Amino acid sequence: MTGFAACNWRRYGQLAAAGIVVMAVACIGTAFAGDGLKKPDLEQAHRLYAQLKAASEEQRARQTLELASTLLDYYPAFDRNDEVLVLAMEASAKLKDPRQALSLADELLASHQASPLVDGALERAAAIAVAGGDSLRAAHYRLLYYDRDPARGQRDDGTPRCATLMDKLSAGQLADLVVFHPGSALVPYLQCQRVRRLLDSGRLGDARTVAADLEAAAPQDRWTIEALRRLGLAAPGDIAAAREPEGPVRLSQVGVLCPQSGNFAALGNAFLEGARLAVVAANDETKREFTLVLEDTGGDPVAAALAARRLCGERGTIALFGDLLSDPTTAASVVAGQFGAPLVSPTATNDRIWEIGPHVFQTNLTGLYEPRLLARLAGTVLLKSTYAILYPDTPDGHRHADAFRVEVLRLGGSVVAQVAFAPAATDFQAALQEVRKARPEVVFVPAGVEQMLLLAPQLDLLGAGALVMGLSTWNNPLLLERVGASLEGAIFPRDYPLYPPAWQEAFTAAWQPDVASAEADELAQRSYLSMRMLLDTMATSGARTRAGLIEALRRRLSREELDVSGPESFAATVRVVRDGQAVPFPAAFYGAGWAAGQAVPAAPPAPAGATPGGTAR
């Protein structure tokens, strides 16, 4: 049988990833040759496909496999065999046959590399392998997924999203991945992790050999620099990220960079005052004595770089905070990296500054956190399983869509439709019809306010039952005033979901808004909340070095450790539209069901006159 016998996975030790694609292509190459099916065969293939879909939807796994086998063996040129393989893989998983499920995933990759289903299948195959205790094979699929789009496969700090899985592998298993995937973009990361494992086990000589190979292959790669840093070496032509300052590091002192002169002085003063209020509050709460050291940058990049050097080198501040603007923040980030010091930026809007190094943290960029938060709510509290993503065809739209999709798949859900629309679109009928055909339980729409003003009234096409989710930008009085009725039941994060609500309340009580402009108020609030986060991390992490503080901040802001202890976890961070108003998520409604481990209703009771179930109208 072409589908289930002739192209099964052949293991070489634990892994034979390099050979599987070649073997599979050889097995099926002749079967897929030809100009397609003749009309009678095509009609029969479509009939079998319809039966297959029905069997899959009705959870008849064995019949699904039988029908899939027939289609793959007797109609190999059928143009929907990529879907057939995916359905067969799921059926095998339901029958507790992970070996066959993974073999089908391999066949899909070998015969349908251009299929849009491959990415989801790789994610699902990795989950199946993990459930079966085969971390190495799971890492193989994660690596293939990463290489199909490396930008999508990275976290905000540049670390691969599969890092948690790779951390479970031994030095030998990492070496196997490198051998079988020598051209992967992840090789420098894998080699860096090998160095770490070897050092942990006391094998210094082996670690140096691996690092030397890595340096020869990719001398300027960030993971090469990290591997050499662990060995106490420096990459040629580069400055080690962990360079120590000329003097002791003061563990309670933060250097603040912001303009106190020039055109941006008024905004800089508000920024500084927000940070000062945060220090007062943090000292009172933690009983510590945090202090700030101010440097006036005047909004100039050169001044910011020189100020950062003084703060890190001469003053020994453990961290830098600021600058107000993107250009001086960028300059200061480069200097901070030379001293191995973390830099926290609450206001810089250039979303690529973090690429300078893992020591840079832009706390105002929460776009990838929010989709994950919503997917976690839908999957763990609302118990949804099928999702659609309707997103603008922009870089941010793609990033939001990918973050949501990956989290949904990680939680065991399925994305039944992913549809992009033009950023300047005014008619969304075709896109909505495509989503409607998939009949999802949840539709995630990472669109901005201007787009939603046009899109929301057309959401009626989705029909009853689809829960709409969006981003925190929907916390907009104009949006709710104009189209709140169309968004009845919609769910989105509140403003500043990364921070405890009590911090925002404390800022409101301490700030005097009548002495500043609305823009200054916003900057001061961002500065306050971000500084509170930094100081709280310094107080609770126990970090005694700059490197330790960087790691603590990375864990806190990586957005990988969401609190899902129960519905109450979302009460402070999520809002629901009720009667045209954004109200807190009704966690109490779900508490009893969560505590009892029982299924909970799809949505809280709607007020009189509203569409039940949190649906789009």
Distance from the Cα of residue 114 to its chain's centroid = 24
Phi and psi at residue 613, to the nearest 5°: 80, 10
Write down the pTM of the prediction: 0.47
Question: CA 137 to CA 410: how far, in whole Å?
Answer: 16
Question: CA 614 to CA 578: how far, in whole Å?
Answer: 9
Give the pair of three-digit tokens for residue 190: 């894998």
Give the pair of three-digit tokens for residue 244: 């120590």
List of residues 6+ apart from 69 with CB closer than 8 A? 1, 3, 4, 88
Domains belonging to the chain, first-starting first, are 17-158 (1.25.40.10), 245-364+501-541 (3.40.50.2300), 369-495+565-596 (3.40.50.2300)
Question: CA 502 to CA 507: how far, in whole Å?
Answer: 9
The per-residue pLDDT for 590 is 63
The DSSP H or E segment spanning 44 is helix 39-57
Question: CA 472 to CA 446: how far, in whole Å?
Answer: 9
For residue 344, the cross-strand partners are 321, 361
For residue 584, the cross-strand partners are 575
Quickly list DSSP for 506-566.
HHHHH--GGGS-HHHHHHHHHHHHHHHHHHHHHHHH---SHHHHHHHHHHHHSS-----SS
pLDDT beneath 70, residues of the chain: 1-36, 202, 232-247, 351-352, 355, 365-368, 463-465, 495-498, 514-516, 557-566, 569, 588-617
Question: CA 27 to CA 439: how far, in whole Å?
Answer: 37
List of residues 6+ apart from 23 with CB closer than 8 A? 7, 10, 110
List of residues 6+ apart from 3 with CB closer than 8 A? 68, 69, 72, 73, 85, 88, 104, 107
Cis amide bond preceding 323, omega within 30: yes
Handedness of CA 551, 554, 555, 556 (dihedral sign): positive
Pick from 543, 544, 567, 566: which is nearest to 555 by CA? 543
Handedness of CA 80, 82, 86, 88 (dihedral sign): positive
Q: Which contacts (CB < 8 Å, 24+ apart) does range 494-499 have?
A: 494/572, 494/573, 494/574, 494/575, 494/582, 496/472, 496/529, 497/366, 497/369, 497/370, 497/373, 497/472, 497/573, 497/574, 498/363, 498/366, 498/369, 498/533, 498/557, 499/529, 499/532, 499/533
Pick from 108, 142, 107, 167: which is nearest to 406 by CA? 142
Question: Max CA-CA distance within the chain?
Answer: 82
The per-residue pLDDT for 24 is 36
